[in-house]
Amino acid sequence: MYTCVSTSRATIKTVTFLYNGTGGLSNLHVINATEKSYPNTSSMPVWGVEDSGLVNKQITPFWGLLDPAFAGKPNISSVRKESLWLPGYTPWVYSIADSTMNIPGASFYTTIMAYIYRELLSGSSLTQEIHDYTGYAQFALSQKWLELGQTPTQSADIINLIWTDIAANAVVGTRGWLSQAPVSITPGPQDQSGPHEVPNVTLFERSTRYHIVYAVPAVLLLFLTLIMSLTTAILVLLRRTGLDQMKWFLNRTSLGRNLTALLYSDVSSQQSTQKTWAKRDAHKLVTVALDRPYAGSQLGIVTCTQPKEDTITSQRLINGDGLERSE
């Protein structure tokens, strides 16, 4: 088991490039990158760190190369050295992106370091915003970690490689698509008639897809509704149905109208208007017994103005005696 302690250091390197002058940046190659050497101390760069008076838990200080003329200014700590050990506090972070800072150079190194130690090396659930560095799903990466894990010195390179890969993707800029043709540095009008490469732009948009199988019940219901609507329209045009017909059937099937028409047939009608029936027939008393209904408030007692013989006739109609049927 190895115990690791990590910190970040800013240095200046001497980089050797090779460029043949054609093809744009695609033909630019890095030949060598070495630590910059200084002949004496006075030629070393001056590094400056913001001194706000607050502790590192409260603020992430700015840092960078400083003009020697500002080395003695207040609120700035300066040092003349070939490199600078970067200050910073390791916060409890859950993402490689710092949403509280709009200057990534001030805190990107501590944010990435905290993310590596807390998320990648702690065994907690990883978010989907970063590549899986555990080697669980990649055999080549797993073999790489096994080889580097043989000695303490090589084991330290595991964290260094992960940090460098994340930092390179976080702070290295990209070239825009202003023009793909090489720009001439010679004065005079430029030829804009040459072909330009059009960037491939992929448009991402949200869309909702519906499985047509789930629409079968709705289509069947719509089809039945359409048939019923067409049938009703045809019957209305042929005057086989309508509001008058509906009203007639409602009056014929109304329980109150049926009872008063049977028991008070001389004065009550099933097809009388609503106002007429409510004024003339709605107050009539009907007793609904287990065997049959009776006109009046109770069995054998008639409280309406109808003659007794008419009441007896109505009861005979209810009992089915003396009914005339026509075929």
Q: What tens digit of pLDDT does each residue of 136-174 get?
A: 778 888 899 999 988 888 888 988 998 888 888 777 655
Residue 221, pLDDT score: 96
Enter the tokens of residue 64: 């960078």
The answer to whether position 227 is within a domain reads yes
- Please tell me whether residues 224 and 148 are part of one structural domain: no
- Please tell me whether residues 115 and 61 are part of one structural domain: no
Inform me whether the pLDDT recorded for 217 exceeds 90.
yes
The answer to whether position 126 is within a domain reads yes
Residue 312, pLDDT score: 52
* Alpha-helical segments (H) within the chain: 108-115, 139-148, 152-171, 216-237, 243-253, 255-263, 274-280, 308-319
The answer to whether position 100 is within a domain reads no
Domain span at 31 = 1-89
Of 155, 172, 189, which one is at a domain's C-terminal end? Answer: 172
Higher pLDDT, 101 or 185: 101
Inform me whether the pLDDT recorded for 117 exceeds 60.
yes
Q: What tens digit of pLDDT does each residue of 234-266 get?
A: 988 887 777 877 888 888 788 888 888 878 877
State the sign of the Cα–Cα–Cα–Cα dihedral 226, 227, 232, 238. Answer: positive
Of 89, 124, 147, which one is at a domain's C-terminal end? Answer: 89
The answer to whether position 178 is within a domain reads no
CA distances from 3 to 6, 108, 296 (A): 10, 23, 104
- Please tell me whether residues 222 and 281 are part of one structural domain: yes
Average pLDDT of span 209-222: 91
User: Which band of pLDDT confidence, cut at 50, 70 and 90, is reported for residue 278?
Assistant: confident
- Please tell me whether residues 218 and 286 are part of one structural domain: yes
Enter the tokens of residue 128: 């989907």
- Please tell me whether residues 41 and 138 are part of one structural domain: no
Residue 318, phi then psi, degrees to nearest 5: -65, -40
> CA–CA separation, 119 vs 126, rounded Å?
6
Inform me whether the pLDDT recorded for 220 exceeds 50.
yes
The answer to whether position 131 is within a domain reads yes
User: Which band of pLDDT confidence, cut at 50, 70 and 90, is reported for residue 96?
Assistant: low
Inform me whether the pLDDT recorded for 299 exceeds 50.
no
Inform me whether the pLDDT recorded for 180 exceeds 70.
no
Amino acid at 274: Q
Half-sphere exposure of 291 (CA within 13 A, CB side): 6
Residue 92, pLDDT score: 59
- Please tell me whether residues 220 and 299 are part of one structural domain: yes
The answer to whether position 98 is within a domain reads no
User: Which band of pLDDT confidence, cut at 50, 70 and 90, is reported for residue 225?
Assistant: very high
Q: What tens digit of pLDDT does each residue of 79-92 get?
A: 999 999 988 765 55
Whether the CB-CB separation of 297 and 263 falls below 8 Å is answered with no
Inform me whether the pLDDT recorded for 176 exceeds 60.
no
Q: What tens digit of pLDDT does each residue of 197-208 get?
A: 666 778 888 888
Residue 228, pLDDT score: 94
The answer to whether position 290 is within a domain reads yes
Q: What angle do CA 98, 55, 5 make, to 5 degrees?
A: 70
Tell me how many domains the chain contains: 3
Inform me whether the pLDDT recorded for 94 exceeds 70.
no
- Please tell me whether residues 10 and 73 are part of one structural domain: yes
pTM of the full structure: 0.46
User: Which band of pLDDT confidence, cut at 50, 70 and 90, is reported for residue 21?
Assistant: confident
> How do 76-80 and 83-85 pair as beta strands?
unpaired
- Please tell me whether residues 228 and 309 are part of one structural domain: yes
The answer to whether position 124 is within a domain reads yes
Residue 79, pLDDT score: 92
Of 157, 172, 187, which one is at a domain's C-terminal end? Answer: 172
